[in-house]
Structures are given as C-alpha cells and as structure tokens.
Amino acid sequence: MIRVRFAPAPTGYLHIGGARTALFNWLFAKQHQGKFILRVEDTDIKRSTQESVQAILDSLNWLGITWDEGPYFQSERIHIYKEYVEKLLQENKAYYCYCTPEELETQRKKALESPDMPAYDGRCKNLSLAQRQKYESADRKPVVRFHILPGITSVNDLIREELTFDNRLLGDFIILKSDGMPTYNFACIIDDALMEITHVIRGEDHISNTPRQILLYQALGFELPIFAHLPLILGMDKTPLSKRHGDVAIKHYIEEGYLPEALVNYLALLGWSTSDSQQIISGTELVTKFSLERVSKNSAIFDLEKLRWLDGEYIKGLEIDTLTGLCGRYLNKLEIGNWKLEIGNFKEIVRLFQERMRTLGDFVERARFFFVDTDSLKYEPEAMTLLTKNGVSEIMEEVKLRLSQLPSFTPEAIEICIRGLAEELRIKAADIIHPLRAILTGSKVSPGIFEVVSLLGQEIVEERISKILERVKG
C-alpha cells in the first residue's frame, strides 16, 4: 500500500509551491489507491499559528486535495520523538551539546572562512562528566546532536537517479532543541517511519537534508522510503517564488475568482507533462495519467498568463447554469451594486461574458455596468470622447426616442431599429453603436451592444442616455 504525506509548517498561507507538492503527493496516492496523509509540522513554537493551520486546510479543501489521514500535529507527538532521542543517546549515536547559539555563531563565522563546508566541529562529542556538570550548573540547556560516522551516503531519487554525499560535510546536526522540541530532520523521519510513509515526495530544497535523514533512518533501524524531489517553482525573475513575487498564496487565487480545477491543472503542468504535451487535463484524467517518472528535473517559472488562459478554457467548458451560480455567489460576496435585474436576466448576462472572461473577477469587472446604477457607473475618459463629437447628442436623443417606442425589446428588434435609424440618417451603424456603448457601459469595450441594450432594459437605457447626455452638455 502506497502511503504519502504532505507536511507543511503552519507558518503562513499555503502557497503555489506547497500546493503543487501537495497535489503531486495526492495524485500519486490516488493513482495507486494509496493513502494521502496530512501532517502539520509545528515544532517551531514561535512561528506556528492556528490561523495558518486553518488557512492551509481551507486552501487544500478548495483545491479538492483531500486527506485520508490526519491532520497529525507534531506538537502533540513530542513524547514519541523524545523516546527515540533517548534511544540514540543510549546507543551513543547521539550526544548532548552545550554550546550556546552565540558560540555556534562565532564557530560558524570562522568555518565560513575556511575552504570547507561549515559544519559543527563536534567539540561536545566527548564531554567528560565533570564538564557536563559544570555546564549544567551554569544553567546551560543542552541540545542533542546526532553523531555522524564517516562514509558516503547515497540517495536513490525517483526523479534524479542517484545522489551521493560525503558524510564529512554533514556535521553532527541537532535533533532535539534546547526547548525540548525535535528539529525538522528528526521529527520528520520519525513520523515518516512510524506513519509508514512509502514515498517522500517534496521540494528540491530538501535534497541536502536527505542524507542526514537517511543516516537517521539507518541509525534507528527504520526502513527507507523512496524519495522523489520535485523541481522548484520560480518567479518571472527566476528566483524562487516567494512573498516578494506577490500573489503566491492560494487564497489570492480563490479571491480573484479562479476555478480550482484550472489551478490544479496548471499546477500539474508546472514540472510534469504527458508525452504529447497535453495542456487541458481534468482532475480525474490527471489521476490516471500522472507519473513521478515524467516529472521534470528543472525548475519552472510560474506564468500567470497561462494560468489565466487555462482558467478561461475551464470557464468556457462550464454549463451555463453552473457558471451562473458561480458568478452569482462571487458577485454577492463582493456586495456590488443594487440589483434591478430579473434573476432570469442574470443568466443571460453571464452567457454574454462566458467567452470573454478568464476569471470570475473578470466578470465582475466587465459586467459591472449591469449591476450598478447610472450615478455610480464609472466612465472612462476614452469613452467620453466619443460623446463630444458633433451631432452625437442629437443622434443619441433619437436613439432614445426610437428605443422607447419599441414594443419588443429583444436584441433582434433593437438591431433592426438601430440599423434602420442609421440608414435613415445615412450614417454607419457603427456611428450609433460606439457612442451608445459608451453611454450604457462607460467603456469602449463590451459584449454585443444589442444584447447589452436588451438586457439592460428599456428603463435603464433611457435613463442612462438622458443622464449622460445631460452630463456631457454640462
């Protein structure tokens, strides 16, 4: 039975990189009918927060990444880690170290100048009882360090083949902090072993931790999992995605009105591909097609434009009723406008924008003129210039009159009316359409004007023409 886990530290929101890691683990588990376990690595008491835990859970849920076990909290498992620390201590595979952070800092600075990789020099390795007592009475709180034996450690990575490391470069690292909490490397392997994790799928930034962890597995007699290190996700400036790049939180994409299916699809494409470079792959298809062997070795740059394109594709593929529901809920959440529209019309409005929006946020932005009253409608300066031309006011007055007399306010009737008027006046239909669009929408850009006029309704159309013409004159 395949068992994988996603193990975030609750020190912030779930971001793009973490979500991708979670997704790959989840896909792998689903594909093999295995278990996906969620484990919260909250051993950093100072930085872990309950809000972060909730935020991460919420984002995972939104993405549809569901867990079969957990969430487990490492902070609730301290006694387990201590047990294993004790075991290593007794077997002389670990030792107490009384160096203070300050002392270590000066050691590190010195080591940085030497041509070697900076590593703890092991000065507390063979402390005599007397020395230890001296430190204890000086009230120094010790940490526990893992004793690393010389040798070569190799990692068999599913994505990168074999990686080898010289143990000498690792240094006796800390496994138990002076506050009694385990460090990441220690808690992580204890849990992975005890939770019987078969495949450790995580970011490439963990490669250098892996030899340390393998040594720990071996020291404790645990069976090794299979490792797979995913490439990193970079920003457009080729540096790893971070807060500096702005919108890295999944929450941001929820708020901007992206579809979870689209984000999942995009995330899957970031570092993984099919042999035919298929772009649009639904969740269920991903489960069957995904494979770790096809994960790329090189880091990928997050491209918002492509995400937006994909989201648009998913929106186009939605049933109109589904999309209407999504738009309605999104609009309500933003509390925009006073609704003078029939609910039946709302669906027609959504239909007008289905092919024009890439996110729900786009819809709100572009369809706004439907939902706000004339007085609070923003008019773009470029649109206003269309109204100041000679004769436009008169033409618009005539349009208003004609439209108000229309017995049927369908797009077809409106089109006949407008085109007829243009013919009578011997002008191009466009010369009516463009100013009319500006008046009704405040913009030079909108869906087809006849549909817009129809859906806005006779009353609002007349009102807008009157008010705006008034405004142009004054």
Q: How far is the CB of 446 from RNA (least distance, A)?
A: 5
Tokens coding 163: 């990686």
Candidates 21-29, 37-45, 88-96, 336-344; binding stretch for RNA (CB under 7 A): 37-45
Helix (H) or strand (E) holding 205: none
Reduce the DSSP state of residue 92 to 3 states and report it: coil
Pairing label, strands 174-176, 94-97? unpaired
Largest CA distance in the chain: 109
Catalytic-residue membership of 378: no
Question: Which among 141, 243, 378, 389 is annotated as catalytic?
Answer: 243
Contact segment (CB under 7 A) with RNA among 53-61, 319-327, 342-350, 426-434 equals 426-434
**Which residue from 66, 82, 172 is spatially nearest to 127, judged by alpha carbons?**
172
Q: Is 445 in the site for RNA (CB under 7 A)?
A: yes
Cα of first residue to Cα of last residue in the chain, in angstroms, is 76
3-state helix, strand, coil in the chain (%, to 5): 55, 10, 35
Interaction of residue 100 with RNA, rule CB under 7 A: yes
Residue 311 CA to residue 316 CA, distance in Å, equals 9
Contact 3, 198 (CB under 8 A): yes
Whichever of 62 and 73 has its CB closer to RNA, that residue is 73
Site for RNA in 318-347 (CB under 7 A): none
Nearer to RNA, 277 or 408 (CB): 277
Toward RNA, which CB reaches closer, 299 or 345?
299
446 touches RNA by CB under 7 A: yes
Taking CB under 7 A as the criterion, the residue among 3, 4, 5, 7 binding RNA is: 7
- Residue whose CB is less far from RNA, 94 or 143: 143
Which residue stretch of 111-119, 191-199, 389-397, 460-468 sits at the interface with RNA (rule: CB under 7 A)? Answer: 111-119
Q: Is 303 in the site for RNA (CB under 7 A)?
A: yes
- Choice between 73 and 339, CB closer to RNA: 73
Q: Which stretch binds RNA (CB under 7 A): 219-227, 292-300, 340-348, 454-462?
A: 292-300
> Which position among 282, 296, 332, 404 is part of the footprint of RNA (CB under 7 A)?
296
Measured CA to CA, the distance from residue 417 to residue 145 in angstroms comes to: 85
Query: Which stretch, 62-70, 86-94, 295-303, 324-332, contacts RNA (CB under 7 A)?
Result: 295-303
Binding test (CB under 7 A) with RNA, winner from 77, 82, 206, 351: 206
Q: Which of 270, 327, 350, 456 is in the footprint of RNA by CB under 7 A?
A: 270
- State yes or no: residue 117 binds RNA (CB under 7 A): yes
Residues 76-95 that bind RNA (CB under 7 A): none
Of 269 and 417, nearer to RNA (C-beta) is: 269
12 closest CA partner among 39, 41, 43, 52: 52
- What part of residues 158-177 is at the interface with RNA (CB under 7 A)? 160-161, 163-166, 169, 171, 173-174, 177
Instruction: Count Cβ atoms below 10 Å from residue 394 Cβ, excluding itself.
Output: 11
Piece of 125-133, 189-197, 230-238, 370-378 that binds RNA (CB under 7 A): 230-238
Classified as helix, coil or strand, 95 is strand
Specify the DSSP element, H or E, that contains 37. strand 35-40
99 near RNA (CB under 7 A): yes
User: Amino acid letter at 465?
Assistant: I
Cβ closest to RNA, residue 121 vs residue 339: 121
For the purposes of burial, counting CB atoms within 10 Å of the CB of 74, is it exposed (0-12), middle (13-18) or buried (19 or more)? buried
How many residues can be counted in the chain? 474
DSSP string across 146-195: E-PPSSEEEEEETTTEEEEEEGGGT---EEE-TTSPBPHHHHHHHHHHHT
> What part of residues 382-411 is at the interface with RNA (CB under 7 A)?
none
Identify residues 343-362 at the interface with RNA (CB under 7 A): 355-356
Q: What tokens appear for 462 in the block?
A: 């007349």
Among 43, 265, 393, 454, binds RNA (CB under 7 A): 43
Determine if 311 is a binding residue for RNA (CB under 7 A). no
Please, which residues have CB within 8 angstroms of residue 407's CB and are 6 or more apart in sequence? 413
Distances in whole angstroms, Cα of residue 259 to Cα of each of 37, 56, 322, 324, 390: 24, 17, 12, 13, 46
* Shortest separation between residue 130's beta carbon and RNA, angstroms: 20
Could you list the active site residues? 243
